[in-house]
């Protein structure tokens, strides 16, 4: 067996209050395919995966120490981290068993592509196979974006004739949601070829091939001005892009930005205001927030 094809399977037992920070720490460590599910009455079980050659046992020990420090600083229980090596053909089926259908907001049901969907009257079914791209709907930042999209498109002016850019599309979950909520066209871009592949697969899986255009790259790959832009990456990347948002968003357009920790929100809001955007709403979940902005 080629060791380059192996993966580390990480599992943690933690309190729900630690979930957001753990997701952030794992994502920055390079993990993919992160999922979370209830574990008893007051705990969650978090699973994450990363390529075996990318980290050593010393790296994993350092990660465990950081998680312990995070918990102690926050006055929380120290999470239990375990890891094991699994072979390439096992990793995807291993994490999939921990992910179940999930309603989000009032209108969406996220369902793993390999499961039969439960009854979902009044909800749009979004079938998803993220592959190795970020975005299953379990992370707070993704949920905040999905809920913000629903409020914007279902109640704040409607979706008819609207075009949207999804910058850093990952699995394509936000693009799919926008299309299912009725927008005319979505332009999905990501610098990661695996994300582009995942978004195209999920677009076709949901029968949205004619509504979602996918390209590898960033803002320069958006072919026309759009009514709104969603971006769920990290605050540092968003800050670098804010001066260029007006180059792709029409006058009177809007932004939905997440991947932002609460302590970073002020800095992002100030950068938006300096570039003639005004923050209309801030939605928070745990340590993460989502900014909804419009042109001044």
Q: Is the pTM of this model over 0.85?
A: no
State whether the Cα torsion 168-173-174-178 is positive or negative: positive
Q: How far apart are CA 220 and CA 237, in angstroms?
A: 15
pLDDT at 92 over 60: no
Helix (H) or strand (E) holding 187: strand 185-190
**13-24: per-residue pLDDT in tens?**
998 888 888 988
Residues 6+ apart with CB under 8 A from 163: 183, 184, 185, 186, 187, 224, 226, 227, 228
Of 33-37, 51-55, 89-93, 156-160, the poorest mean pLDDT is in: 89-93
The number of distinct structural domains making up the chain is: 2
**173-225: per-residue pLDDT in tens?**
999 999 999 999 999 999 888 889 999 999 999 999 999 999 999 999 999 99
Q: Could you write out the DSSP letters of every residue in 73-128?
A: HTT-PPPEEEEEEE-HHHHHHHHHTT---EEETTTEEEEETTSPPPP-TTSEEEEE
33 and 64 part of one domain: yes
Q: Is residue 245 classed as helix, strand or coil in its secondary structure?
A: helix
Q: Which residue has the tokens 């994300």?
A: 195
Domain boundary among 96, 127, 148: 96
64 and 118 part of one domain: no
The neighbouring-strand residues paired with 45 are 13, 37
170 and 230 part of one domain: yes
Task: Give Cα 108 to chain centroid, integer Å.
Answer: 15
**116-173: per-residue pLDDT in tens?**
999 999 999 999 987 655 677 777 889 999 999 999 998 766 888 999 999 999 899 9
43 and 112 part of one domain: no
Output the pLDDT for position 157. 67
In which domain, by residue range, is 240 found? Answer: 102-295
Structure tokens at 186: 């979505």
189 and 248 part of one domain: yes
116 and 19 part of one domain: no
Q: Which among 39, 38, 41, 53 is positioned nearest to 3, based on CA atoms?
A: 53
Residues of the chain with pLDDT > 90, as a percent, come to 51
Q: How far apart are CA 141 and CA 259, in angstroms?
A: 6
pLDDT band at 2 (very low <50, low <70, confident <90, very high): very low
Contact, 19 vs 101, CB < 8 A?
Answer: no
Could you give the strand order of the β-sheet that contains 80-86, starting from the edge strand earlier in sequence? 32-38, 44-51, 7-14, 80-86
Output the pLDDT for position 154. 84
Output the pLDDT for position 44. 87
CATH code of residue 116: 3.40.50.150
State whether the Cα torsion 161-211-213-106 is positive or negative: positive
147 and 165 part of one domain: yes
């Amino acid at each position: 067996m080629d060791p380059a094809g192996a993966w580390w399977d990480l599992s943690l037992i933690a309190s729900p209050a630690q979930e957001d920070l753990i997701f952030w720490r794992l994502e920055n460590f390079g993990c993919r395919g992160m999922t979370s599910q209830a574990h008893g009455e007051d705990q969650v079980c978090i699973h994450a995966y990363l390529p075996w050659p990318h980290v050593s046992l010393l790296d994993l020990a350092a990660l465990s120490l950081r998680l312990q420090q995070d918990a102690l600083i926050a006055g929380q229980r120290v999470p239990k981290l375990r890891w094991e090596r699994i072979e390439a053909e096992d990793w995807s089926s291993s994490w999939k068993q921990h992910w179940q259908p999930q309603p989000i907001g009032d209108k969406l049901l996220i369902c793993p592509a390999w499961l039969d969907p439960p009854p979902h009257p009044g909800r749009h079914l979004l079938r998803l196979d993220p592959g190795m791209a970020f975005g299953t709907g379990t992370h707070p930042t993704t949920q905040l974006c999905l809920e913000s999209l629903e409020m914007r498109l279902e109640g704040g002016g409607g979706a008819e004739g609207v075009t949207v850019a999804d910058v850093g599309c990952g699995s394509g979950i936000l693009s799919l949601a926008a299309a299912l909520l009725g927008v005319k066209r979505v332009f999905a871009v990501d610098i990661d070829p695996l994300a582009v592949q995942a978004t195209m697969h999920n677009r076709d899986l949901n029968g949205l091939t004619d509504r979602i255009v996918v390209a590898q790259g960033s803002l320069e790959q958006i072919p026309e001005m759009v009514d709104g832009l969603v971006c769920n990456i990290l605050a540092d990347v968003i800050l670098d892009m804010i001066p260029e948002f007006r180059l792709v968003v029409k006058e009177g357009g809007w932004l939905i930005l997440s991947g932002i920790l609460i302590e970073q929100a002020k800095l992002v809001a100030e950068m938006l205001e300096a570039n003639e955007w005004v923050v209309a709403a801030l939605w928070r979940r745990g340590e993460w927030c989502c900014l909804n902005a419009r042109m001044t």
